[in-house]
């Protein structure tokens, strides 16, 4: 038995079914069901009554309560041990999603370390679907993905709206003389529907699962592009957009830095249009475990992030170039 199995079990209980838990965790129902069977075999007990709905047995209820207490105690113990060492506060470990290093972190880190030369910052990748289970060795987690409510979330950029970006040359190649009318519909509706013929570059994680935010947006817009390229990193996906091969969907903050704030990129005919998102709150946040007590230096890092975005000039939408 390991923490991943415990996390899966807790998710099944809290989501009410294996299918619901598998969707939230981005793993197959079969894999999750096998993990549950393996756990029951190891414990020599039946954790659920398998009728139309999954219902905890008495043993399952006791095990669930124990797992919650164990994880809480474990996280508290880790935090207590960390605070024993004074030099812990000379280092901050910052996690970010596995699909890509946030474009703003380099500048924020530079500003932060100029003011605090005795500190150093470690950056580590963490898959979003593993949060919060795999945050035990991370002080702060930076992500543009939908907020994980089980964490303490510090919003550093509110209303970080999503945009769809692509080269004008690609739009004119795909839509020809009908592009002006297509653009008009895109501006009026803020919907992806007018772009059904546009090739898209889609971010997938290491498990070949569509990026959570994109999945939610596509579902909200009832959109499923039939022409697509798959990328595991934002860098490769951005290059497909910059090269005029595909469109990308990203938060405006990412487009502002990676496209319009990059002097190495000719953004004259790079178009960006706002896309309506109501299924989740589009923000950029720095998060940490609820059991993690922020040190002054960590609070200063969060403040540095906010200061950066307060001074960042966002492009006016729509960005239509030449």
Domain CATH number, residue 39: 1.10.10.10
Q: How far apart are the first and last CA of the chain?
A: 59
What 3-state DSSP class applies to 110?
Answer: helix
Question: Quick check: is 319 in a domain?
Answer: no
The reply to whether 100 and 205 lie within a common domain is: no
Task: Count the domains in the chain.
Answer: 3
The pLDDT, as a whole number, for residue 130 is: 64
Residue 80 — very low, low, confident or very high, per pLDDT cuts 50/70/90? confident
pTM value is: 0.68
Average pLDDT, the chain: 87
The reply to whether 97 and 174 lie within a common domain is: no
Domain of 123 in residue numbering reads as 88-158+282-311
The reply to whether 286 and 147 lie within a common domain is: yes
Question: Quick check: is 218 in a domain?
Answer: yes
Q: Residue 110: give its domain's CATH number.
A: 3.40.190.10
At 243-285, the pLDDT tens digits run: 999 999 999 999 999 999 888 888 889 999 999 999 988 999 9
Residue 316 — very low, low, confident or very high, per pLDDT cuts 50/70/90? confident
- How far apart are alpha carbons 256 and 104 in whole angstroms? 10
Question: Quick check: is 321 in a domain?
Answer: no
- How far apart are alpha carbons 143 and 145 in whole angstroms? 5
- How far apart are alpha carbons 120 and 112 in whole angstroms? 10
Q: 207: which residues sit within 8 A by CB, 6+ positions away?
A: 26, 27, 127, 129
At 142-193, the pLDDT tens digits run: 987 777 777 889 999 998 999 999 999 999 999 999 999 999 999 999 999 9
Nearest to 143 by CA among 133, 53, 132: 132
- How far apart are alpha carbons 4 and 9 in whole angstroms? 9
């Amino acid at each position: 038995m390991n923490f991943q199995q415990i996390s899966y079990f807790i998710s099944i209980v809290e989501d009410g079914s294996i299918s619901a838990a598998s969707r939230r965790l981005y793993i197959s129902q079969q894999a999750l069901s096998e993990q549950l069977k393996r756990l029951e075999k190891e414990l020599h007990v039946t954790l659920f009554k398998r009728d139309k709905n999954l219902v905890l047995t008495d043993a399952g209820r006791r095990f669930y309560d124990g797992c919650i207490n164990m994880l809480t105690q474990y996280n508290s113990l880790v935090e207590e041990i960390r605070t024993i060492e004074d030099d812990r506060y000379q280092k901050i470990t910052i996690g970010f999603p596995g699909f890509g290093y946030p474009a703003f972190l380099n500048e924020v880190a530079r500003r932060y370390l100029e003011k605090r030369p005795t500190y150093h910052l470690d950056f580590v990748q963490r898959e979003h679907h593993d949060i919060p289970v795999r945050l035990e060795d991370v002080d702060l987690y930076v992500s543009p993905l939908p907020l994980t409510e089980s964490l303490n979330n510090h919003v550093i950029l509110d209303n970080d709206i999503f945009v769809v970006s692509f080269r004008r040359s690609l739009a004119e190649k795909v839509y020809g003389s009908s592009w002006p009318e297509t653009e008009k519909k895109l501006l009026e509706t803020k919907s992806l529907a007018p772009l059904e013929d546009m090739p898209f570059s889609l971010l997938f994680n290491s498990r070949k699962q569509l990026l959570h935010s994109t999945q939610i947006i596509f579902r909200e817009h009832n959109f499923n592009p039939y022409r697509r390229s798959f990328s595991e990193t934002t860098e490769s996906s951005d290059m497909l957009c910059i090269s005029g091969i595909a469109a990308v969907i990203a938060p405006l903050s990412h487009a502002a830095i990676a496209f319009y704030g990059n002097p190495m990129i000719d953004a004259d005919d790079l178009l960006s249009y706002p896309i309506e998102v109501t299924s989740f709150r589009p923000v950029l946040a720095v998060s940490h475990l609820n059991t993690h007590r922020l040190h002054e230096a960590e609070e200063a890092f969060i403040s540095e992030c906010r200061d950066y975005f307060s001074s960042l000039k966002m492009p006016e939408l729509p960005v239509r170039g030449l």
